[in-house]
Amino acid sequence: MSKNQSLPPNSTVDPYSHLQIVQNPDGSITRLFQLPTIAAAPDKEHLKVLTKDIPINPTHNTWIRIFLPAQALNQNSSSTTKLPLIIYFHCGGFILLRASDSFNHDFCCDLAAQVSAVVVSLEYRLAPEHRLPAAYDDAVEALHFIKGSDDVWLRDFADLSKCFLMGTSAGGNIAYHAGFRASLAVDELEPLKIHGLLLHHPFFGGAKRTESELRLVNNPTLPLSSSDLMWDLALPIGVDRDHKYSNPTVGDGPDNCDPIISFGWRIFIAGCDGDPLIYRQVELAEKLKKKGVEVVAKFGEGDCHAVELVDKSKAEVLFYLLKDFIEQN
């Protein structure tokens, strides 16, 4: 663990076993558990959502998967109505999972169908082989790729002027940092116009333990030991947990809020008190509000970290809230 971070004595979860990883002598990790993956389906009949993959950077092996509601293809060809664009970053603590993993794919399919949006999910580089800010770099590169893409689905069906960045867990962290970077370069992203950030159970940390982290130290979904290990593997070598990548609220943070405010961006933050990260999510929402950022926070009782990925009934509630948030823009 980090030099300034130690686990409380009642922590009992072995993080390597929990995450099913082995650390190699060269600093890389072997990922022992692989979820089933789903191939893109761009032209299958009887699907509510069509999907296709497009490479971005072959050197980095990054690509996007586009999720297009089938109803968009069935609209009258004379219709000029386009769908909002949601650029999505998957979960996995920066070290695990892929955009094509079954529950990430299914979540984006349901998101596209129920919110009535074109969803673009990014396959970004993972740590520790590619430590932060690699994932942030990949996210910003994807924004530039999308804004200039001649792909017919993006060109004809996605409203690039109504774009939102969304992520789950570590993906929420990526959406946050990529969004704040993008706010400093809006002219370079035209015609892509971001209207807000959708942070779903975002993954943040800090040097000082929070009440929720200590209360849920052995939480089966996200035990503190696993959270610690993921940060140790993801952050730049030599920094502590109060680095801005993990703790944007440290000191007088969050920083660089003025562009967000001036452009009228809104930030949606969802979480629950069964998540060890809840205290950090609430703190971020409160500090953003004090800075003058418009924040819509939805924090529920019970449940677990990123519960909507595995509980479709709760996902439906989330999608309803997101659809309302997007339509208000």
List residues with catalytic annotation: 169, 275, 305
127 phi and psi, to 5 degrees?
-85, 160
DSSP E strands in 181-238: the ranges are 194-200
Helical H segments across 133-223, by residue range? 134-147, 152-157, 170-182, 186-189, 211-215
CB 140 within 8 A of CB 134: no
| Rg (the chain; Cα; Å) | 19
Residue 230: strand, helix, or coil: helix
Q: CA quadruple 73, 192, 194, 280: dihedral positive or negative?
A: positive
121 phi and psi, to 5 degrees?
-105, 130
